[in-house]
C-alpha cells in the first residue's frame, strides 16, 4: 500500500522576481506563508502516514493483527489530522468524552451528600465477588446509622439536617482506607464497603470513623448540637461472598449497637458473640441476637 506525496507543483517555488529583500513574515522561509506551511505539513503528514502503513503491513505479515490494526488506525488519524490536539473533530470528541464521564459519575452519586448511591453499591458489590484481595482475606461491610437523626430534623429543620448528613459523609470518607468506599443506603443510613480487610482491621476502621464523628466540632453548627453514629460491621470469608447475607449480618449488628446504648461499633467475635469496639466494650448490656444463618460471619 503506497500513499503518494503531494505533487511537485504544489510545493515548487514561484519564479524569482527582483524586489526588496524579504522581511520577517513577508515570505522568507515558511513563517507567515500559509501556502508553504500547508505544503510542508502535507509532506510531513505523508511521510508519517506512509511509515504507519508500512509498519502495519509488516506487523500483519508477522501475524500481529492487533498491533497492525493500531498502526493502521494511527495512519487514518494522521490522514484526517485527528492527531492534532486542536483539530475540530478531536476537540469535539474530547468534549463528548468529558460530558459522558461527568454524566456517568453523576449517575453513581447521591445528589445530596455526594457519596455513592445505592445503584453504585449494588453494582460494585457484584464486581467485588471476583476481587483477588477479597479472595485472600474476605470482605467486610458495615452499616452506619446516625443516632436520633429525626430529632435533628424536627428541631433544626431539613436544610440543617442536610448539612449534618453532608458532614457525616465527609468524616466517614476521611476514615476509610484506599479501596474502601461509602454509599448512602437510604435516609440517614450508610454502607461502608471494606474489601480485602480482615475482621480486626475492619472493626478498627469503623471505630475510627465513629470516633471522628463523635469528636467533630458540631457546636460550630449549633452550640447544643451533638451527633453520633451506631455501626454494625460484618465480615465473611465465604467464597464467593454472599453479599445479601453480609448486608443482613451488618444490619443485625447495627441494631445490636443501638440496643447497647448507641454511639458504638458492634461486631461478632470468633465465638459468635456480639461485642462492642473501643471504650463501649465495657458496657454491660450488649444484645446477643441469635446467630442462625449468620454463624459464618466473623
Q: How far apart are CA 86 and CA 63, in angstroms?
A: 35
Residue of 13, 105, 188, 270 marked catalytic:
188
57 in catalytic set? no
C-alpha cell at 32: 507567515
Q: What crossing angle do the helices spanning 158-175 and 149-156 adopt, rounded to 10°? A: 140
Of 47, 43, 56, 55, the C-alpha closest to 11 is: 43
Active-site positions read 188
Amino acid at each position: 500500500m503506497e500513499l503518494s506525496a503531494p505533487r511537485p507543483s504544489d510545493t515548487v517555488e514561484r519564479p524569482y522576481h527582483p524586489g526588496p529583500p524579504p522581511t520577517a513574515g513577508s515570505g522568507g522561509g515558511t513563517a507567515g506563508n500559509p501556502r508553504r506551511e500547508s505544503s510542508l505539513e502535507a509532506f510531513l503528514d505523508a511521510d508519517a502516514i506512509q511509515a504507519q502503513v508500512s509498519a502495519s503491513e509488516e506487523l500483519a505479515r508477522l501475524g500481529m493483527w492487533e498491533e497492525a490494526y493500531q498502526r493502521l488506525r494511527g495512519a487514518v488519524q494522521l490522514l484526517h489530522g485527528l492527531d492534532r490536539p486542536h483539530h475540530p473533530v478531536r476537540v469535539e470528541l474530547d468534549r463528548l468524552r468529558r460530558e459522558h464521564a461527568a454524566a456517568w459519575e453523576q449517575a453513581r452519586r447521591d445528589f445530596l451528600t455526594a457519596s455513592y448511591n445505592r445503584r453504585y453499591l449494588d453494582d460494585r458489590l457484584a464486581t467485588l465477588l471476583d476481587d483477588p484481595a477479597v479472595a485472600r482475606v474476605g470482605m467486610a461491610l458495615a452499616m452506619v446509622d446516625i443516632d436520633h437523626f429525626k430529632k435533628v430534623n424536627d428541631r433544626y429543620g431539613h436544610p440543617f439536617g442536610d448539612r449534618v448528613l453532608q458532614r457525616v459523609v465527609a468524616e466517614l470518607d476521611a476514615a476509610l482506607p484506599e479501596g474502601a468506599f461509602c454509599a448512602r443506603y437510604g435516609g440517614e443510613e450508610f454502607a461502608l464497603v471494606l474489601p480485602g480487610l480482615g475482621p480486626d482491621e475492619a472493626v478498627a476502621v469503623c471505630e475510627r470513623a465513629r470516633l471522628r464523628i463523635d469528636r467533630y466540632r458540631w457546636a460550630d453548627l449549633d452550640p447544643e448540637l451533638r451527633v453520633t453514629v451506631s455501626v454494625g460491621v460484618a465480615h465473611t470469608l465465604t467464597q464467593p461472598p454472599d453479599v445479601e447475607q453480609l448486608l443482613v449480618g451488618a444490619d443485625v449488628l447495627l441494631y445490636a449497637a443501638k440496643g447497647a446504648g448507641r454511639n458504638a461499633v458492634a461486631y461478632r467475635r470468633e465465638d459468635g458473640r456480639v461485642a462492642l469496639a473501643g471504650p463501649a466494650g465495657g458496657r454491660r448490656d450488649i444484645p446477643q441476637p441469635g446467630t442462625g444463618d449468620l454463624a459464618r460471619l466473623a
